[in-house]
Each structure stands twice: as structure tokens, then as C-alpha cells.
Structure 1
């Protein structure tokens, strides 16, 4: 029986690893935040505190702070153009990346769960409900309407989450649900019948291995691509943070607004 318990513990650990393998913390951490909301369209960038515009950049060349136009010298204009052009490029693509990331994470967890316990298990709907809440919160945080792109304030730490603590808690709930589903699925193991228990454990082992191989073939390349993109965006945002610091140091009215924050 000890051997069976060990086998099951190892396989359950493998399942947990599959689910959490899409957490970028294991391989890549980006210590970049937006302290304010950002709205970007073709001609403007607005730094928002709820519905109030604090900083506005028009046509990558004119800076307004609290509605007041700022007269800039030549060097400040160069920094402002670099900063605005970078945000114009990064923000729309980050919204796409965030959406792709959460879709991939949800698809993967759903695929693992279906491969192990099937859609008829009573906990499957709870899993799907939790995942849909995650997806809705990410879409609320990263929005695109017409030619306007919005990113809400908060952490940009992970490749496939781009989520705050509330969304992370929902992901944890969903994963907890799926582990519970596995426990329920094998709860019929008869501890007095070693042969039957071994068969069930081996069946679960085969299912896990098959699911793992499918994920590696179908999801692995996409996950790798997302990680590479996230790394590039993180590096780009750090460059923009440096440019922002130059503007804040040289423009007293801009100094209070640390839009891009990072652990230096």
C-alpha cells in the first residue's frame, strides 16, 4: 500500500507541476508595474487616476500635466518622443499578449482536467466557472475598444497571468478544484485490494503521461513564444522607465507621477 500511495503522490505532484508550469515565476520574473491606468489611441496617451486625466501626451510631442501645457527644451522633447513612441508601440501589443496568455493557461488547465476526469465529473463546471471569472477579470484589466487601448494599474509580473492578487486567487481556486476532482475520481480505490488499487493508479499514470505529451506537442511552443514576448516587453518597459525617470527629474510638474515602476 505504501508503494501505491507513493505512486499516487508522485502523479498528483506531476499534475500540480503541469498546472503551475505556466506560471512565469518559475522561469521569469518581471518586476514592472503601472501605478496608474493608461489609455492609448492613435494621437494621445493619457495617464489616468480612475476617470481623471493626470498626464496627457499629444502626438508624441506635447505634454500636458493636470491640463497645463508644459514648455519643453530640445532634450526633453527627445525624451518625450522616445517615451510616447514606446508606449504607443507596447500598450496595444501587451493587451494582445495578456489575452493570449490567459487563454493558453485556461486551455491547458481545462485540457489536463478533461484528460483525467472528463467533462461529466460534477466539479468540472466549478472549474470552468472559475476560469471564466479569470478570463473576464483579465479582459476588464486589458481592454480594447475601437482604436482605444486601456491597461489598468497593477502588476505585470507574469507571462500568462498578467493578473492581480484577486485573479491569482481565482486561478488557485480553479486548480484546487481540479486536484479535488482527481481525488474524487480515485476515491473508490479499495485499500484492502492492492491489485485493484495498483490498476487504478497505473491507469491514472497513463492518463497523466498522455496528457503531458499532448500538452508538450500542442502548447509547449506557444508557451515558449509567449515567454519570449513577455521578456522582450519587460526589457522594453524597463527602458521606458529609465526615460520616464529622466523626464521626471527634469520636469518638476512631472515628478509626482511615477507611472512605470520597477524594482531597481
Structure 2
């Protein structure tokens, strides 16, 4: 199952977007607007709109929540490892790097209070995001930042004390421990997503069926097929 369009949910609205432009929206779970035009609905039509809107409100926040929590978990592990390591300038640079990584990854998922955004994607793509893209980015970030810290620290200590040396295995042990911690947290979230995927797909099939009913009642929506089976 997949979402062909982006979905933005707020307490009063559901907006379906393509390239950040609203194609249609539902206000208060009852009012339908297509390309900014209010669509007159019968009582039966309004009931189907309400079912569709409520289905979106149940499902999308769960998907966004799992993705956001996964990213925050991985980045918090890195940030906790870097606290107090290096000089203030270095810490600011690493903090900026973590923030930029967060921004890049979270452009697909947004959660702010009661507002949620989900970019067009399938559940398989989200699983690949957690197992592949996110884990790879965080692993490289951990190696680059923590590895650089230990390298600079070793060089400084060698200049002040010829008898002090730190082996390469000791240097990278801390990095590997951090990576293991990151991966463990991400794997737990990915397993959580996998355990819920059957329920998610069942709900999406139901939502797809409701969407088909709504398209039959409002033919203008046929060109905006949001929930699809892949």
C-alpha cells in the first residue's frame, strides 16, 4: 500500500498535495473543496467524506509518529555521545551537522503538535528508510564525528606526553559502541513498524475502498487517487 500524494493533517483540515500545492481538502470532516471550489454534497456523500477523513486521521499520525521517533532516537544517541567532547567550536559544528542531517531526513515526515505531514511514499519505502537510508546516514555521521574527536585527542596527547598512546582498536571501539547503540534503537523501531504493518495495510485497504466509494459519488476526485495498492 502507498500514498500517491502528500497528506497534511491539522485539527480542522485534511489537505492532499502535489508538489506542495493543494489539490483538494476536507474541512471539519464534512466539507469538500477541489481546486479551491466548494463541492455541494448530499447527506450520503457527506457521510462517505467523513469516513474517509476519519480514516486518514487515524492512520497518518501513526506512520509519522513512528518515523519521527526513530530519527529522534538515533540522533539523541549521537548527541549524548558528543556532550563535553572537543572544544566549544567543534561542538557547535557537530551540532549543526546533526541538525542538518535531521532536516534532510525529516523532510518526508513532519509532526508538530496536532499537525502531521506525510510525503508520497509506500510502506515498503518507509521500511527501507528506517533500515537503510537513516541507519547509513547516522552510521557515517558517527564515524566521521567521533572518529575525528579521537584522532584530534590522540594527536594532542602525543604532543604533551610521549609515553601516552591510544591504539586504533581503542579509538574505534567507542565509535562502534555508538553505532551499535544507534542500530539497536533503529532496529527496535523498525520491528515495531513491521509488527504494525499488517494492521496498517488492512486499514489502508479499507481506506482505499472508502476512497473508491467517494470517487464514484464525486467523479472530480478520480484524478486524485491518494491511497493505492502497489
TM-score (norm 1): 0.56
1:6 is aligned to none
**Partner Cα distance (1:130, 1:33) in 2:** 31
Structure 1 unaligned residues grouped into runs of 5+: 1-30, 163-167, 189-198
| Cα offset, 1:32, TM superposition | 2.2
2:23 and 2:86 mapped to 1: Cα distance? Answer: 51
Tell me by how many angstroms 1:101 deviates: 2.0
State the partner residue of 2:224.
257
Q: Give the C-alpha shift of residue 64 in structure 1.
A: 3.3
Give me the CA root mean square deviation: 4.6
Q: 1:229 to 1:110 in 2, by over 3 A?
A: farther
2:58 corresponds to which of 85, 89, 107: 89
Are positions 1:223 and 2:174 aligned together? Answer: no
Residue 26 of structure 1: aligned partner: none
**Cα-to-partner distance string for 1:110-165 (whole Å, 9 max, x where unaligned):** 56x659xx8329977655423212333527851436x5x24153336326958xxx
User: Deviation of residue 249 (structure 1)?
Assistant: 4.5
Q: Aligned-pair distance for 1:103?
A: 0.2
Quickly say closer, same or farther: Cα 1:178–1:125, change in 2 above 3 A: farther
Structure having the higher helix fraction is: 2
Aligned to 1:3: none
Give the Cα separation in 2 of the matches to 1:50 and 1:220. Answer: 30
Distance in 2, matches of 1:127 and 1:202, equals 23
CA drift at 1:175: 3.6
**Aligned equivalent of 2:214:** 247
Mapped partners of 1:126, 1:171: distance in 2: 21
> For the residues of structure 2 that align with 1:233 and 1:53, how far apart are their CA atoms?
25
